[in-house]
Amino acid sequence: MSDYMEAVHSVPCVICLKRLGRKVYGVHAHHAGEGSDRDDHLLVALCPEQHPGPTGIHGMHRRGFHRFWKTTDMQLIAWTNEQLWKQR
C-alpha cells in the first residue's frame, strides 16, 4: 500500500464530515474517476456506508451518489486533500 493511500485511510469520511457534520473513521480509499482516469493519487476517503453501502457511491452508483450528496469527484478529492493537509 502506498504512503498516500495509507494517509487517506487515516482521515475521516469526507461525506460524513462535510454533509452530516460528524467525523467517521475507518474509511476506504475510493478511486475517483472511471476506466483509464483511475489513479492511485485520486482517492476519496469514504466510510463503509458511503462507499459500498446503500447511500454510498457504489450502492447508488456514481451519478445517483453525486446527485444525492450534491457533490462531484473533484470536490470529494479536494475535501480528502484538505483533511490530509490538516493532519500534517
Task: Give the tens place of pLDDT for each residue, 16-41.
Answer: 999 999 999 999 999 997 776 678 88
Distances (CA, A) of 86 to 25, 48, 80, 82: 15, 22, 10, 6
pLDDT of 88 > 80? The answer is yes
Higher-confidence residue of 76 and 35: namely 76
How many structural domains are present in the chain? 1
- The length of the chain, given as a count of residues: 88
- Cell numbers for 69, please give them: 450528496
Tens-digit pLDDT profile for residues 62-74: 999 999 999 999 9
Give the chain's count of helices (H) and strands (E): 4, 2
Residue 43 maps to which CATH number? 3.30.40.190
Q: State which residues form the domain around 18.
A: 3-86
pLDDT computed for residue 36 by the predictor: 66
- The percentage of the chain sitting over the pLDDT mark of 90, rounded to a whole number, equals 85
